[in-house]
Amino acid sequence: MGTPARVIVLPESTSRLRIEELELPDPGPTQVVVKLFASGICHSQLHQMHRPRTAPVILGHEATGMVEKIGSEVTHVSPGDTVLVTWVPRDAAAARQLPVRATLQVSDGIAQSENVFTWADHTLADEQYVVKVDPNIPHDITSIIGCAVMTGAGAVINTARVQPGQSVAVFGVGGVGLSAIVGAKVAGAYPIIAVDLDDAKLEFAKRFGATHGINAAKEDPVAAIHAMTQSKDAYTILQTPVSGVDFAFDCIGIRKTMEQIVPACRSGHFGARDGGTAVLVGVPSTNVELNAMDVLLQEKHFIGSIGGSCAPDRDFPTFIDWQQSGRLRLEELVTQRFSIEEINEATAALESGKISGRAILEF
């Protein structure tokens, strides 16, 4: 017997989302049916909404829920378990096969998902996307661990492996950027420079660990970063003082910020130390042009971080510990809540920049 569900569907020909009441099929051998409590609302879904499509799409990729049914080969969770649903395989190194992507029969065809769908009050997911957690965690704000926290904080602690005393700049302080700032604070970075276009967001970022803020609408952030990080005893190949941050994270992915993070990085100390590292975290919306001479002469690095280089089975307990110890502060990072009926208002608010932290859907 199937499971009744209310599912948000993105039609093939319009970006206006609709809610469908349908029946989820029983789980296949490696699948799990999860009753969802809350789901994050991510910019990645906006990218999906604006992309050309050849079929309807089911959206969402981070949530907190409770297992209702499991497939015959599922052993790590049982009905009644509290879980986080994410879009990254929980332990890809140990996986015996590729995860099964969810598809659903909806009113206008077969709707596809990118790995999982969590904009629904129930979901059907491969067991690789379902992570068992402490049942005593909050069931609402923890929903954003499966993407926002994992992506931002993971980029700092896993991809960049920031060390105490190293300097960090975070471009874009939405949910992912704020999580990166938390990760930098936990890592012991200094300074932690937040870069955004809104003074209120920059002040908000200081509550999560930013030590400095730069409003890129009012000044050149690259020049400002170099001015506040100039060394007194290290020099470049051109005999100018070394300056810039050890790590610059772009948590937006637009052309302008992607082209700013490499110049914002620390220049190399000729013969003694290579340059800083630019980390692309946000989903890119276009190609970029980089100053190859800057990369060469200053021995800088430009790398990508997908999903914070996370292994959810390993990393989610760490993030939950941060929350329980007061370091993550998800109760402040989640700044707006919407019902499933308000999904179009929620995506419009996100697209217009009205969400200061992370918004969630509550079921």
Structural domains in the chain, sorted by start: 3-139+329-362 (3.90.180.10), 149-306 (3.40.50.720)
Instruction: List Cβ neighbours of 348 (8 Å cut-off, separation of 6 or more).
Output: none
- What pLDDT score was predicted for residue 102? 87
- CA nearest 91: which of 254, 317, 263? 317
Q: In angstroms, how far is CA 125 from the centroid of its own chain?
A: 19
What global pTM score does this model have?
0.95
CA distance 75 to 70: 9
Q: Are 52 and 95 in contact (CB under 8 A)?
A: no
In tens digits, the chain (363 residues) has pLDDT values of 799 999 999 999 898 999 999 999 999 999 999 999 999 999 889 989 998 999 999 999 999 999 999 999 999 999 999 999 999 999 988 888 899 988 999 999 999 898 999 999 999 999 999 999 999 999 999 999 999 999 999 999 999 999 999 999 999 999 999 999 999 999 999 999 999 999 999 999 999 999 999 999 999 999 999 999 999 889 888 888 999 999 999 999 999 999 999 999 999 998 888 999 999 999 998 999 999 999 999 999 999 999 999 999 999 999 999 999 999 999 999 999 999 999 999 999 999 988 989 999 999
Both tokens of 284, joined, read 């890119």
**How many of the other CB atoms lie within 10 Å of CB of 53?**
16
Q: What is the pLDDT of residue 65?
A: 98
Contact yes or no for 84/61 (Cβ under 8 A) = no
pLDDT for residue 96:
82
DSSP state of 272: T
Q: Looking at residue 10, what is its pLDDT?
A: 96
CA distances from 216 to 152, 191, 251, 326 (A): 20, 18, 14, 30
d(CA 215, CA 226): 15
Closest among 59, 83, 57, 86 to 69, alpha carbons compared: 83
